[in-house]
């Protein structure tokens, strides 16, 4: 008999096989496995898992339907709260959200809520089941800037309320980080992301790609000349940061964003596409977050020996435990407690290595994490041909600098109410990474939801 204290294991591609391809690592549950895992749920009356979900999916109700084998009913329960379940089931940090609160997790392993969500959403897609909604149009026009998770969620919720919604997207494909940042091997683009974008479009949402708000047109023009009565800004935080060390402008130094965009959105890994990408032999990725893991695992699949260079220890790595585990299994080398001080270049101004210094952990800093302190005399050199900087991102100031009366903070994040997304400018709402700085898919979705409610209230009272 199965051990009820343990999750039903999920099938994955073997590490040595997947390290050489871009196909999805996790293969997900089949129906029998999903029903067995769902049967572990004790259906708590006061479900803590729902409190841990930023979009408040009725988790016990959908898991109950899975347990009974009613997968279509489970999908409709999830669809009441989320338009992107196949995406969230794959990339949400469940361990610190729904699963982190699961009562089963006290004595054993929590219910595998993410993998169940993914199974239900994949089943619905494969069986052509759509969210059941009937929408009566109210004739009011709302513009949404950006087609990432915050924009898609805000647009979908407004469309369900009857609004005529247009998303303006700067890139040529909709999805935000879901298409340009997160790699294919974690989140398949044409199969999974495109299908969930189509579900949002099926609600009546229009998406205009290749429109840069702040250049093609402005928020003030949308409100004053184009007939939009409210605007939601979900433009993300796509501006990369650098260390400011010598050699950072050399050939062979990339931001993780550029590197991943070339590979994911522009399909550089696929020989049928023309996009060039550095196929380094020895690559260092500087940073320890999810983005660093994605860049490292991408470089590995492109044939390189890859080092993660991170200044704190393993315990402080900000990436999800699952991502670190997968990276290690695939052969990424972790140089922890190590900080770069200079990128070394050859006579052609190309990367030939990186000077680093060993670190130790001192007292906790403002973030509560122990501060890394350099150990004098511990400098050493890493021989490399490519360096990928993954030190975080901030919002691009284009929108705030072209919109009259839109306040930002000193990190260039738009100031907006957490409750309803209202900014300093009447009729303009914002949410997701553009407000919080780089965060997570589900928090961006939660912000999109809150702003949809805020916009509805604003326009209802107008
Ligand atoms: C490589 C990578 C891996 C990640 N992995 C995870 C993960 O595993 N789990 C997780 O939960 N989170 C992850 N994240 C974070 C998560 O993807 C983001 O927090 C989330 O996508 C933010 O959503 P958003 O809607 O605010 O913005 P985005 O997804 O950034 O979307 C913003 C959109 O707005 C568009 N835009 C910007 N400016 C303009 C303009 N002026 N005019 C028109 N359009 C504009 C952009 O092109 C983009 O499409 C990852 C991020 C990256 C970069």
Q: What is the mean pLDDT of residues 333-350?
A: 97
Which residue from 46, 29, 47 is spatially nearest to 38, judged by alpha carbons? 29
- pLDDT tens, residue by residue, 425-454: 999 999 999 999 999 999 999 999 999 999
Residue 134 reports pLDDT greater than 80: no
Partners of 4 in the beta sheet? none
Of 203-207, 277-281, 396-400, 427-431, the range with the lowest mean pLDDT is 277-281
Residue 199 reports pLDDT greater than 60: yes
Angle 331-335-336 (CA atoms, 0-180°, nearest 5)? 125
- pLDDT tens, residue by residue, 36-90: 999 999 999 899 999 999 999 999 999 999 999 999 999 999 999 999 999 999 9
pLDDT at 135 (0 to 100): 79
> Is residue 394 a contact partner of residue 413, using CB atoms and an 8 Å limit?
yes
Q: What is the mean pLDDT of residues 293-312?
A: 97
Residue 173 reports pLDDT greater than 90: yes
Here the tokens at position 176 are 């935000």
25 alpha-carbon distance from chain centroid: 17
Q: Pocket of ligand 1, candidates 91, 177, 416: which has the most ligand atoms within 8 Å of its Cβ, to mutate?
A: 177
Rounded Cα–Cα distance for residues 101 and 178 (Å):
26
Q: Pocket of ligand 1, candidates 219, 235, 326, 396: which has the most ligand atoms within 8 Å of its Cβ, to mutate?
A: 235
Confidence band, pLDDT 50/70/90 cuts, at residue 275:
confident
Atom of ligand 1 nearest to the CA of 216: 42
Q: What is the mean pLDDT of the chain?
A: 95
Helices assigned H by DSSP within 52-134 = 59-67, 71-79, 85-91, 98-101, 104-107, 113-126
pLDDT at 136 (0 to 100): 87
Q: Pocket of ligand 1, candidates 84, 92, 118, 148: which has the most ligand atoms within 8 Å of its Cβ, to mutate?
A: 148
Here the tokens at position 324 are 């670190």
Q: Which helix (H) or strand (E) holds 453?
A: helix 441-461
Is the Cβ atom of 265 under 6 angstroms away from ligand 1? no
Angle 283-24-77 (CA atoms, 0-180°, nearest 5)? 130
pLDDT at 4 (0 to 100): 85
Share of the chain above pLDDT 70, in %: 100
On whether the pTM is more than 0.85, the answer is yes
Handedness of CA 70, 73, 79, 82 (dihedral sign): negative
Is the Cβ atom of 145 under 6 angstroms away from ligand 1? yes
Q: For 2, how many CA atoms within 13 A lie in the half-sphere containing its CB?
A: 14
What lies within 8 Å, CB to CB, of 124 at 6+ separation is: 71, 72, 75, 130
Of 114-128, 255-269, 343-357, the range with the lowest mean pLDDT is 255-269
Q: What are phi and psi of 340, to 5 degrees?
A: -70, 145
Residue 133 reports pLDDT greater than 80: no
Q: Which residue, judged by its Cα, is nearest atom 7 of ligand 1? A: 91
Q: What is the mean pLDDT of residues 192-205?
A: 95
pLDDT at 206 (0 to 100): 98
pLDDT at 1 (0 to 100): 52
pLDDT at 53 (0 to 100): 96
Is the Cβ atom of 24 under 6 angstroms away from ligand 1? no
């Amino acid at each position: 008999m199965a051990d009820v204290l343990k999750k039903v294991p999920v099938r994955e591609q073997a590490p040595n096989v997947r390290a050489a391809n871009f196909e999805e690592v996790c293969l997900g549950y089949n129906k029998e496995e999903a029903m067995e895992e769902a049967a572990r749920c004790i259906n708590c009356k006061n479900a803590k898992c729902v409190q841990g979900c930023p979009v408040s999916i009725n988790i016990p109700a959908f898991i109950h339907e899975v347990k009974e084998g009613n997968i279509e009913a489970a999908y409709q329960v999830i669809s009441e709260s989320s338009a992107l379940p196949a995406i969230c089931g794959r990339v949400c940090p469940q361990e610190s959200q729904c699963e982190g609160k699961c009562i089963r997790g006290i004595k054993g392993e929590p219910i595998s809520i993410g993998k169940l969500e993914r199974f239900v959403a994949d089943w619905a897609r494969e069986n052509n089941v759509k969210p059941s909604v009937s929408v009566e149009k109210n004739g009011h026009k709302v513009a949404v800037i950006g087609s990432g998770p915050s924009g898609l969620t805000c647009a979908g919720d407004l469309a369900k309320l009857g609004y005529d919604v247009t998303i303006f997207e700067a890139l040529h494909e909709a999805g935000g980080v879901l298409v340009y940042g997160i790699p294919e091997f974690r989140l398949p683009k044409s199969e999974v992301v495109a299908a969930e974008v189509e579900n949002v479009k099926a609600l009546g949402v229009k998406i205009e790609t290749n429109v840069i708000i702040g250049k093609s047109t402005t928020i003030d023009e949308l409100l004053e000349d184009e007939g939009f009565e409210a605007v939601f800004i979900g433009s993300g935080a796509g501006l990369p940061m650098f260390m400011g060390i010598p050699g950072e402008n050399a050939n062979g130094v990339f931001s993780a964003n550029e590197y991943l965009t070339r590979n994911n959105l522009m399909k550089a890994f696929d020989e049928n596409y023309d996009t060039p990408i550095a196929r380094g032999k020895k690559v260092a990725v500087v940073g320890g977050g999810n983005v660093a893991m994605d860049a490292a695992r991408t470089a590995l699949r492109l044939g390189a020996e890859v080092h993660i260079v991170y200044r704190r220890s393993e315990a402080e790595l900000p990436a999800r435990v699952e991502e670190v585990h997968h990276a290690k299994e695939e052969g990424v080398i972790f140089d922890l407690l190590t900080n770069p001080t200079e990128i070394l270049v050859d006579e052609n101004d190309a990367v030939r290595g990186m000077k680093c210094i060993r670190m130790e952990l001192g007292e906790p800093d403002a973030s509560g994490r122990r501060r890394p302190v350099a150990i004098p005399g511990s400098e050493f050199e890493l021989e490399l041909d490519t360096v990928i900087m993954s030190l975080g991102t901030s919002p691009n100031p284009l929108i705030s600098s072209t919109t009259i009366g839109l306040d930002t903070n000193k990190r260039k994040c738009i100031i907006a109410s957490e409750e309803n997304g209202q900014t300093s400018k009447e009729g303009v709402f914002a949410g997701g990474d553009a407000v919080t700085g780089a965060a997570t898919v589900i928090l961006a979705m939660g912000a999109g939801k809150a702003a949809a409610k805020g916009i509805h209230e604003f326009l209802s009272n107008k």
